[in-house]
Structure 1
Amino acid sequence: MPQTLIRNATLLTMDATNGSKPFAGDLLIEAGRISAIGKDLAAAPDAIVIDGRNRLVMPGLVNAHTHSSETFFRGRYEGLPLEIWLLYAYPLLMGPVVNERLLYLRSLLLAMESLRNGVTTICDDFFDPPSHDLTRLSTVFKAYEDAGIRANVSSAVMNVHTLDALPYAREIMPLHLQEKLDFGSPMSAATYIDYCRSAFASLHGKAGRLNFMIAPSAPQRCTPELLQACHELAVEMAVPLHTHILETKTQAVTGHEFFGKSLIAYMGDLGALSRNTTIAHSVWVSDEDIAMMGEARCSVAHNAVSNQKLGAGIAPVRRLIDAGVIIGLGTDGVSSNDTARIFDVMRTAGLIHSVSGPDYDRWIHADEILAMATIGGARSAMLENITGSLEAGKAADLLILDLTTLNFTPLNDIAKHLVFAENGSSIEMVMVAGQIVVRDGRMQMIDAASVLAEIRELVPAHLTAHGELEKRNAVFHSTMAEIHRRATDKVIGLHRYAGDAAS
Structure 2
Amino acid sequence: MQTLIRNATLLTMDGPEGAVPIAGDILIDGVVIAAIGKNLVAAPDARIIEGQRKLVMPGLINGHTHSSETFLRGRYQNMPLEVWLLYAYPLLMGPAIAPRLLYLRTLLLAMESLRNGVTTLCDDFFDPPAHDLERLGTVFRAYKDAGIRANVSSAVMNVHTLDALPYAREVLPQALQDKLDFGPPISAETYVDYCRSAFSSLHGMAGRLNFMIAPSAPQRCTPDLLVACHDLALKMRVPLHTHVLETKTQAITGHLMFDKTLVAYMHELGMLDRNTTIAHSVWVTDEDMELMGKAGCSIAHNAVSNQKLGAGIAPIRRLMDAGVTVALGTDGVSSNDTARIFDVMRVAGLIHSASGPDYGTWIPAADILRMATINGARSAMLEDITGSLTVGKAADLIMLDLDTYAFMPLNDIDKHLVFSENGSSIEMVMVAGEIVMRDGRLTTVDEAAIFAEVRETVPALLTEHAELERLNRVFDPFFAEIHRRASEEDVGLNRYAGDAPAWRASNWR
The TM-score, its normalising length taken from structure 1, stands at 0.99
1:240 and 2:272 matched: no
Conserved? CA contact 1:247–1:284, under 8 Å:
yes
1:451 and 2:450 matched: yes
Give the drift of 1:18.
3.1
Match for residue 348 of structure 1? 347
1:92-171 matches, cutoff 5 A: 92-171=91-170
Q: In the aligned structure 2, how far is the partner of 1:73 from the partner of 1:108? A: 15
Matched AA of 2:498: A
**1:141-186, CA deviations, whole angstroms, 9 ceiling, x for partnerless residues?**
0000000000000011000000000011001100000000000100
Conserved? CA contact 1:20–1:415, under 8 Å:
yes
Q: In the aligned structure 1, how far is the partner of 2:482 from the partner of 2:402? A: 50
SS of structure 1 residue aligned to 2:419: helix
Moved more, 174-183 or 484-493: 484-493
The alpha-carbon distance between structure 1 residues 307 and 17, as it changes in their structure 2 partners (threshold 3 A), is closer
Matched AA of 2:96: V
Q: In the aligned structure 1, how far is the partner of 2:115 from the partner of 2:242? A: 27
1:461-476 matches, cutoff 5 A: 461-476=460-475
SS of structure 2 residue aligned to 1:437: strand
Q: In the aligned structure 2, how far is the partner of 1:358 from the partner of 1:96? A: 52
SS of structure 2 residue aligned to 1:327: strand
Q: In the aligned structure 2, how far is the partner of 1:125 from the partner of 1:157? A: 10
Conserved? CA contact 1:284–1:495, under 8 Å:
no
Q: In the aligned structure 2, how far is the partner of 1:491 from the partner of 1:194? A: 42
Match for residue 432 of structure 1? 431
Match for residue 196 of structure 1? 195
**1:166-221, CA deviations, whole angstroms, 9 ceiling, x for partnerless residues?**
01100110000000000010000000000000000000000000000000000000
**1:38-58, CA deviations, whole angstroms, 9 ceiling, x for partnerless residues?**
111111111111101000000
Give the drift of 1:499.
5.8
Q: In the aligned structure 2, how far is the partner of 1:439 from the partner of 1:453? A: 22
SS of structure 2 residue aligned to 1:301: strand
Conserved? CA contact 1:279–1:301, under 8 Å:
yes
Match for residue 208 of structure 1? 207
Q: In the aligned structure 2, how far is the partner of 1:269 from the partner of 1:403? A: 50
Q: In the aligned structure 2, how far is the partner of 1:43 from the partner of 1:17? A: 29
SS of structure 2 residue aligned to 1:102: helix
SS of structure 1 residue aligned to 2:264: helix
1:173 and 2:210 matched: no
Conserved? CA contact 1:316–1:501, under 8 Å:
no
1:252-401 matches, cutoff 5 A: 252-401=251-400
Match for residue 229 of structure 1? 228
Give the drift of 1:228.
0.4
Runs of 4+ aligned structure 1 residues displaced above 3 Å come to 496-499
Give the drift of 1:500.
1.4
Match for residue 187 of structure 1? 186
Give the drift of 1:17.
5.1
Conserved? CA contact 2:241–2:279, under 8 Å:
yes
Matched AA of 1:500: A
Conserved? CA contact 1:249–1:491, under 8 Å:
no
Conserved? CA contact 1:29–1:434, under 8 Å:
yes
Conserved? CA contact 2:284–2:498, under 8 Å:
no
Conserved? CA contact 2:317–2:499, under 8 Å:
no
Q: In the aligned structure 2, how far is the partner of 1:462 from the partner of 1:44? A: 51
Q: In the aligned structure 2, how far is the partner of 1:491 from the partner of 1:425? A: 45
1:26-45 matches, cutoff 5 A: 26-45=25-44
Q: In the aligned structure 2, how far is the partner of 1:198 from the partner of 1:100? A: 20
Matched AA of 1:257: L
Q: In the aligned structure 1, how far is the partner of 2:354 from the partner of 2:224? A: 41
Give the drift of 1:129.
1.3
SS of structure 1 residue aligned to 2:154: coil
**1:115-154, CA deviations, whole angstroms, 9 ceiling, x for partnerless residues?**
0000000000011111000110000000000000000000
Give the drift of 1:492.
7.0
Q: In the aligned structure 2, how far is the partner of 1:443 from the partner of 1:4? A: 18
Q: In the aligned structure 1, how far is the partner of 2:489 from the partner of 2:433? A: 52
Match for residue 500 of structure 1? 500
**1:51-91, CA deviations, whole angstroms, 9 ceiling, x for partnerless residues?**
01000000000000000000000000000000000000000
**1:432-490, CA deviations, whole angstroms, 9 ceiling, x for partnerless residues?**
00000001121101101100110000000000000000000011111110110110001
Conserved? CA contact 1:218–1:245, under 8 Å:
yes
Q: In the aligned structure 2, how far is the partner of 1:276 from the partner of 1:374? A: 18
Conserved? CA contact 2:10–2:21, under 8 Å:
yes
1:408 and 2:407 matched: yes
Q: Report the number of matched residues.
A: 502
Matched AA of 2:483: H
Conserved? CA contact 1:152–1:211, under 8 Å:
yes
Moved more, 303-312 or 486-495: 486-495
SS of structure 2 residue aligned to 1:42: coil
SS of structure 1 residue aligned to 2:314: coil
Match for residue 217 of structure 1? 216
Conserved? CA contact 1:35–1:392, under 8 Å:
yes
**Ranges in structure 2 where 5+ consecutive residues have no aligned partner:** none
**1:322-354, CA deviations, whole angstroms, 9 ceiling, x for partnerless residues?**
011011000000000000000000000000000
Q: In the aligned structure 1, how far is the partner of 2:19 from the partner of 2:238? A: 27
Conserved? CA contact 1:252–1:491, under 8 Å:
no
Match for residue 476 of structure 2? 477
Conserved? CA contact 1:154–1:215, under 8 Å:
yes
Q: CA RMSD in A?
A: 1.1
Matched AA of 2:63: A
Give the drift of 1:498.
3.4
1:12 and 2:11 matched: yes
Q: In the aligned structure 1, how far is the partner of 2:43 from the partner of 2:168? A: 67
**Ranges in structure 1 where 5+ consecutive residues have no aligned partner:** none
SS of structure 1 residue aligned to 2:233: helix
Q: In the aligned structure 2, how far is the partner of 1:491 from the partner of 1:40? A: 64
Conserved? CA contact 1:328–1:372, under 8 Å:
yes
Q: In the aligned structure 1, how far is the partner of 2:215 from the partner of 2:226? A: 7
Conserved? CA contact 1:275–1:297, under 8 Å:
yes
Give the drift of 1:495.
2.3
Match for residue 78 of structure 2? 79
Matched AA of 1:438: M
Matched AA of 1:96: P
